[in-house]
Amino acid sequence: MKTNIHLGVFSLFLILSLSSDSFGQSTSDDNFPGPSKFLGFNGAQDLDFRTNNLTHMRMMQSGNSNINGFNIDRSGFVALSQNAGVFGLPQATAFSLLHLNGDNGPTGGPQQLGYRDWMRHGIVFTHNADLMYIGPRRTTGLDKTDAVIAWADNTPLSQNGPDNLVFMFTTGNNLGADLELGRMTAAGYTGLGNTWSNTGQPRRTLDVIREQNLPQFRLTRTKGTIDTTGIHADFQVDNTGFLHILPRKDGFKRPMVVGFLPGGPEVVLSTTTLDIGGITRIRQLDSIPTPRTLIMGYQFEDVNEGDDDHFLGRIDFPDDSLLYLDGTGNWSTLSPSDSDCRWIDNTSPTVFGETDIHIGFSTQDSCYRGKVAIGHVNAKFSKLEVTNLYNRDRVRNAISGLTRSEHLDTAPISDYTGVYGKATSQNELQGVNSIFAGVHGDSEGGGYSLGVRGTAEGNPIYTQYAIGVYGKATDAPFGRNIGGYFEGERAVVSFGAILASNFQITLSDENVKSEIEPINNAMEILSQLQPKSYYMSTPDNRELYFDDDLQYGFLAQDVEQILPHLVEDFDVPNSIDSSGFIPNTGMTLKGIQYQAFIPLLVSGFNEQNGIVNQLENKLTSQDETIASLQAIVEDQNELLQLQASEIEFMKAQIAETLVAVSAMQQKTHNCCQNQSTETGPVINEAIGNKQMELGQNVPNPFDQTTRIDFTLPAEAQIILEISDAQGRPIRKLIDGQMSQGQHSFTFDGSGLASG
């Protein structure tokens, strides 16, 4: 008998096993450029540093973590904490390359709210349920980076805090002086001084405090050797609330100048205390002020710089009601019998004992003019026309209206209006086709062109509603009532909640639409959208008013990847106040056409209904198939019962046949024993009944030699050969007669290729 032994592909493995609490050391295979050693693990596992069996430092393994909604690669981040318990939390992770965690943190781990993804490159501090960051922040471009000091709070400013950025100086022992020299609040206010505290916060963008009787603020042009020398200006608010501006040069008082004089600042101002750009000069007014002093502009062509220099003089209005200022600039006397159509005193209907002045109006037909013009050569279109055409006037508003109540002890008046306009007509035909506007505003040519501008500021104690612009429309039975109507390309209407008591109508007429096509694959599009929950937050450089409640919707940047035509950029303009000052900068934000999702949802619903109908039809067809199969199964059961009875009959016949065959075998055996035969080949029953055993080669895998063990139950002709993985013979080791028992053969494979 020939037996073939096949040895397959062999490999050599070296396994170094380390426990999870061990440190590993690795050496490169070729030792070039030299042995490599490290402290840590070959596998993915955090590296902890402990003292007194408490973890106080952890180096994070390679991988990502979700921190405040950001997917952060925290590979190699290091966390240090005084609170060892924080490392036992399942969500414990470092926030940046170096994360220092104090104590008194939230139960769920260090403070995450306020964290941003750009903080991963610096140092993060978490302590007392708050967060701080020092490090770089990449802006736009490949090489534009800001150095940032940031701090965060976990709740809105009104609930916890204030949390401030504080600059302190400490000295001496634990009883030494701790001086807070400056602080910056989360509202953007900065305070300088040495008396700030959490009970006293700065209230302006820059708030300088000094309670001693010394100047709080100095602007220096040239420094002096002592406090009184050099060129500087000190600013001080005294204990009575007056502001002092003290320009000095080597201790001597200097005049204060706002703007520039013609000819430059070298013009001598020996007798002028205040000079505003060469336009306003106030000199030597009476020491006892009189409330009837009015500063008005007039011109002297023979003084100073000629006809371009406009001075301010002083006019005292006398108590004599018969004196008036005529068109030549002189005081004239009005005879009591004369009538002046321009100025008429009428008995006041609102204030008892007083008179109201009517300008440009008289009931006397002989002097009726009916129009008044201020700053205008002709009055053409209105009863009162106010025009500002001259830059020298420095006038910001053509008309400014103010209504104010100064008497708190009187009964409150329900309605105060700064400017009120009303337009009406008694002619019914004119009322049908004409436009009546109570207040109408046109603006053009400015950096900010505002047709109508409304600003409402409320009192924090009394005001219930502050409405910048209010519109009301009623009684239009044959047309439309429009409370507010806006036109503008990508107009920004409101950032807060918009309240409506009825449905808002969107233009959707077929007559203004083209290339109308059905929406396909709506379900595929909707499956890519990821709705989010979020809170609206005000940008750092622009104050916008949002609803503070939890919101649901989409992120414009996410929708832009799927439906870019539904996302548009729009500009938020700079915020300006009544003086034209721009306290906040504008920005560009992304908006979503939310109404466009309604057709997608309807189309997706219809597609789902189609799929449901198809499934219902398939189920109906399957029910019919199942009923047909049940009938077939019943028929098969009847057939199987019939076949079972036939099989029982055949079993009985086979049993009878086996009995007859057994009797015949017995007779044949008895007959053969009585016959004599010649000696023939003998088959060793041991070989036929026992199995030959081939043992596992040792070692396995091997480098050069290995031992092969096998056992023969009886003497036999043996062939032992080596073959490759495809069964092709490589080398014959044994070919010959071998005795019964155990045998071994050492195979030298050094001359063969690996594998």
Percentages (nearest 5) of helix, strand, coil residues in the chain: 15, 25, 55
Handedness of CA 368, 370, 374, 380 (dihedral sign): negative
Give residue 254's pLDDT: 81
Give residue 18's pLDDT: 35
Q: Where does 446-566 show beta strands of DSSP type E?
A: 532-534, 551-553
Residue found by looking up tokens 């904490």 in the block: 81
Q: Does the pLDDT of residue 291 top 50, yes or no?
A: no
pLDDT band at 681 (very low <50, low <70, confident <90, very high): very low
Q: Retrieve residue 523's tokens.
A: 């379900």
Higher pLDDT, 261 or 692: 692
Residues 584 and 572: beta-carbon distance below 8 Å: no
pLDDT band at 66 (very low <50, low <70, confident <90, very high): very high
Of 80-89, 197-206, 407-416, 433-442, the one with minimum mean pLDDT is 407-416
Give residue 198's pLDDT: 80
DSSP 635: H
Residues 731 and 721: beta-carbon distance below 8 Å: yes
pLDDT band at 306 (very low <50, low <70, confident <90, very high): very low
Residues in Cβ contact with 280 at an 8 Å cutoff, skipping those fewer than 6 apart: 274, 312
pLDDT band at 474 (very low <50, low <70, confident <90, very high): confident
pLDDT band at 211 (very low <50, low <70, confident <90, very high): confident
The model's pLDDT over 373-391, given as tens digits with 9 standing for 90+, comes to 776 666 666 777 777 766 5
Q: Retrieve residue 203's tokens.
A: 């209230």
CA–CA separation, 545 and 468 (whole Å): 13
CA–CA separation, 728 and 734 (whole Å): 17
Query: What SS3 class is residue 511?
Result: helix
- Average pLDDT (673-688) is 43
pLDDT band at 313 (very low <50, low <70, confident <90, very high): very low
Q: Does the pLDDT of residue 63 top 70, yes or no?
A: yes
Q: Does the pLDDT of residue 396 top 60, yes or no?
A: yes
Q: Does the pLDDT of residue 515 top 60, yes or no?
A: yes
CA–CA separation, 58 and 79 (whole Å): 5
The model's pLDDT over 528-587, given as tens digits with 9 standing for 90+, comes to 999 999 998 888 777 777 878 899 999 999 999 999 999 998 888 777 766 666 766 778
Average pLDDT, the chain: 76
> Closest by alpha carbon to 73, among 93, 90, 58?
93
pLDDT band at 25 (very low <50, low <70, confident <90, very high): very low
Q: What percent of the chain has pLDDT above 70?
A: 69
Q: Does the pLDDT of residue 28 top 50, yes or no?
A: no
- Average pLDDT (703-708) is 86
Q: Does the pLDDT of residue 447 top 90, yes or no?
A: no
- Average pLDDT (103-112) is 78
Give residue 469's pLDDT: 86
pLDDT band at 676 (very low <50, low <70, confident <90, very high): very low
> Closest by alpha carbon to 189, among 209, 201, 205, 200?
205
pLDDT band at 278 (very low <50, low <70, confident <90, very high): low
**φ, ψ of residue 598 in degrees (nearest 5):** -65, -50
Residues in Cβ contact with 232 at an 8 Å cutoff, skipping those fewer than 6 apart: 218, 219, 220, 221, 222, 224, 247, 248
> Closest by alpha carbon to 58, among 24, 19, 17, 101?
101
